[in-house]
């Protein structure tokens, strides 16, 4: 019982911390947010935030990945090709919008976060991608792996945006076709 209560309390504190972090990132930008500020805004001791996340980069990354998973659920179009087309088109829209791609900026700003913490923070999104691929596998489709999606869809779209090359729907379509037509 007590562990349930403490789990509940811990979840409430976590939600308050992530909400405070989200507010601060929106007003100040990911580069300018610190653990003590988040702690103060959430009404929690900074020491407990350091204990749980270690550094501000890991905390922001966890917050951003959770928001991303909530705000942008992955498509369920009935086929892997349809899902990947729909998903990559949304990424293209995001990369071309004038709104700040806040999630990507947080990922980029997390330069000092250890690899294992990055993987942990990004777990919610990874699980959604995994579930989308599982649906395809259950339908008997040949499906790529999550790593394939990172390597051959996410990566080229973001890298092109980074170096200033065009990112558009035709490219997204081409990358999806290329991935699905390449032997594993």
Q: Residues 122-141 vs its own copies: string with x where CB under 8 A?
A: x-------------------
Angle subtended at Cα 145 by Cα 73 and Cα 125, rounded to the nearest 5 degrees: 30
Question: Is residue 182 a contact point for its own copies (CB under 8 A)?
Answer: yes
User: Does 67 help bind its own copies (rule: CB under 8 A)?
Assistant: no
For helices 155-163 and 80-96, the axis angle rounded to 10 degrees is 20
Query: Quick one: three-class SS letters along 84-137?
Result: HHHHHHHHHHHHHCCCCCHHHHHHHHCCCCCHHHHHHHCHHHHHHHHHHHHHHH
Using the minimum distance from each CB to its own copies, give the nearer residue, 17 or 122: 122
- For residues 45 and 39, the answer to whether their CB atoms sit within 8 Å is yes
Min CB(82)–its own copies separation in Å:
22
Is residue 20 within the footprint of its own copies (CB under 8 A)? no
Q: Please, which residue, 41 or 160, has the CB nearer to its own copies?
A: 160
Task: List residues binding its own copies (CB under 8 A).
Answer: 31, 105, 107-108, 111, 113-119, 122, 147, 150-152, 154-156, 158-160, 162-166, 175, 178, 182
């Amino acid at each position: 019982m007590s562990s349930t209560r403490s789990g509940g309390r811990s979840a409430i504190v976590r939600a308050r911390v992530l909400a405070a972090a989200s507010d601060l990132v929106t007003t100040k930008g990911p580069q300018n947010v610190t653990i003590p500020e988040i702690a103060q805004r959430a009404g929690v001791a900074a020491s407990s935030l350091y204990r749980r996340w270690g550094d501000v980069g890991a905390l922001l990354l966890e917050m951003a990945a959770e928001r991303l998973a909530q705000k942008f659920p992955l498509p369920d179009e009935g086929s892997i090709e349809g899902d990947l087309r729909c998903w990559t088109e949304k990424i293209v829209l995001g990369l071309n919008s004038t709104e700040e791609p806040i999630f990507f900026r947080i990922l980029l700003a997390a330069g000092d976060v250890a690899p294992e913490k990055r993987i942990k923070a990004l777990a919610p999104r990874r699980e959604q991608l995994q579930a989308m691929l599982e649906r395809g596998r259950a339908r008997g489709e040949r499906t790529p792996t999550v790593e394939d999606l990172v390597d051959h869809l996410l990566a080229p779209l973001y890298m092109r945006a980074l170096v200033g090359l065009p990112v558009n729907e035709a490219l997204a379509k081409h990358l999806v076709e290329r991935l699905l037509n390449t032997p594993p």
